[in-house]
């Protein structure tokens, strides 16, 4: 996705920023922007408020300091200033992202309508404090989800929708828990049989093409968060990992039974290209499709795989 300039971004005001490179994506009704702010000024700032809720996560920084401010003239007290923190900005409340002598900032912004929280989190919403902006909050869960979302923005493919929606759901659930200081007391249980059946049928039907966590959660009459946790309890895997495993198994069956080129197999099981398929295949199986196909066909025919010569074999023969 092409980069856009600072002038194209919807900031109400900004100062001291030479440029900002932004890569946006949309998941679960939220606008997700990975931004890299560049500045040579001693001080730089931007009004991060908008007509939506804005969750901002600082991922990295080169030099200097940075953080949220309710007033440009008054810094907020903070025990630490290393990257990894987030802050929450309700709609139409002015909060500045302020930096001093920072040459570059890496951040993720997640903008969404407040009404979206209900279908995403359901009964995990605890009201009041979500209407107030927050100071810097550190949470490894939020930072990890934000970092993976940034990677999806930069390198994402179409089939990452389920993964992106899952990350948005986990990020918001963790952030809301931090802000409100409350955790749902309802015990996490698996899906009931009809919910699990309809969820698996949906995922298998959409093995190739766009897969929506919101749509499948809607079929089970659950929020995205409740569905994702229930599905993992029932199957041992989050929905996106379960779908990835199904795609890889389908690819293995095709490669073992046919001579279809690997690039075509990749698209047949829902990957955008061979490169993305190879990365996913290696992540699941520990090897590449090409090597798996050779070993897999050998095992299918009942032959013993030919042992590859090891460096120690040569050493022994030369002694």
Question: What is the C-alpha end-to-end distance of the chain, expressed in Å?
Answer: 58
pLDDT attached to residue 159: 54
pLDDT attached to residue 308: 46
Name the residue with higher pLDDT: 173 or 81. 173
Is residue 77's pLDDT more than 70?
Answer: yes
Name the residue with higher pLDDT: 175 or 20. 175
pLDDT attached to residue 234: 96
Give pLDDT tens digits for 181-232: 876 656 678 999 999 999 999 999 988 888 899 999 999 999 999 999 999 9
Query: In whole numbers, what is the pLDDT of the chain averaged over residues?
Result: 86
> What pTM was computed for the model?
0.84
The fraction of the chain above a pLDDT of 90, given in percent, is 62
Give pLDDT tens digits for 269-290: 988 888 889 988 998 999 999 9
């Amino acid at each position: 996705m092409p980069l856009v300039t600072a002038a194209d971004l919807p900031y109400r005001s900004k100062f001291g920023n030479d440029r900002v490179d932004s890569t946006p994506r949309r998941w679960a009704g939220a606008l997700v922007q990975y931004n890299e702010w560049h500045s040579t000024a001693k001080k730089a700032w931007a009004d991060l408020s908008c007509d939506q809720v804005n969750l901002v996560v600082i991922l990295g920084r080169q030099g200097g300091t940075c953080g949220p401010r309710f007033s440009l003239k008054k810094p907020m007290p903070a025990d630490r200033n290393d990257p990894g923190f987030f802050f929450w900005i309700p709609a139409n409340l002015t909060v500045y992202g302020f930096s001093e002598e920072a040459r570059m900032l890496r951040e993720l912004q997640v903008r969404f309508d407040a009404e979206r929280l209900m279908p995403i989190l359901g009964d995990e919403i605890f009201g009041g404090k979500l209407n107030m902006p927050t100071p810097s909050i550190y949470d490894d869960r939020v930072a990890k989800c934000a970092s993976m979302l940034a990677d999806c923005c930069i390198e994402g493919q179409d089939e990452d929708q389920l993964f992106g929606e899952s990350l948005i759901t986990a990020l918001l659930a963790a952030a809301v828990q931090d802000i409100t200081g409350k955790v749902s007391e309802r015990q996490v249980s698996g899906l009931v049989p009809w919910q699990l059946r309809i969820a698996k049928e949906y995922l298998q039907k959409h093995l190739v093409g766009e897969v929506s966590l919101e749509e499948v959660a809607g079929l089970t009459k659950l929020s995205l968060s409740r569905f994702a946790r229930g599905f993992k309890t029932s199957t041992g895997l989050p929905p996106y990992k379960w779908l990835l495993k199904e795609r890889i198994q389908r690819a293995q069956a095709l490669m073992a039974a046919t001579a279809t080129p690997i690039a075509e197999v990749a698209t047949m099981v829902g990957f955008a290209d061979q490169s993305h398929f190879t990365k996913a295949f290696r992540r699941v199986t520990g090897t590449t499709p090409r090597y798996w196909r050779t070993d897999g066909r050998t095992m299918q025919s009942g032959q013993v795989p030919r042992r590859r010569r090891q460096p120690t074999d040569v050493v022994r023969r030369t002694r």
